[in-house]
Homo-oligomer: A and B are copies of this chain.
């Protein structure tokens, strides 16, 4: 997995540095979790104290440009990152207003909306669906 990402870096003439590998490893370790730049920085620092926060931001920007990671905001005033899916089409997210947890949702009804727009002459390159509310653990606390 890590190797295949390094191949993409190579293919695009970007150097495979210790820092970039460490960042990719940290993200792999947290697969399925939506990490902030700072989450990644803190984790990498454990085994690599010299790493700079700028390198983390720069690397994530690069990985996003290469379609290795997907950068998205859940309206918290900061961005979160996760690995892209192979198909290039993203799953959706449910954000709990109670505990803040972000839960992935597989269902996809967006084709309808997309084709309606494409008929009107738009080109759709990406979409984002975020649902907000209460997860089963928080719903009782909320309705009490």
Give the size range of A's interface with the partner. 35 or more
Residue numbers of A with Cβ under 8 A of B are 71-73, 75, 79, 92, 94, 97, 105, 107, 109-110, 112-114, 116-117, 120-136, 139, 142-143
Q: Given A72-B75, A73-B73, A75-B73, decide whether A105 and B125 contact each other with a Cβ distance below 8 A.
A: no
Cα distance, A143 to B123, chains bound together (Å): 10
Cβ distance A118 to chain B, nearest Cβ, rounded Å: 9
Does the CB pair B120–A131 fall under 8 Å? no
Does the CB pair A139–B124 fall under 8 Å? no
Cβ distance A11 to chain B, nearest Cβ, rounded Å: 24
In-complex Cβ contact of A127 among B127, B132, B135 (8 A) = B132
Does the CB pair A139–B123 fall under 8 Å? yes
In-complex Cβ contact of A112 among B107, B127, B128 (8 A) = B107
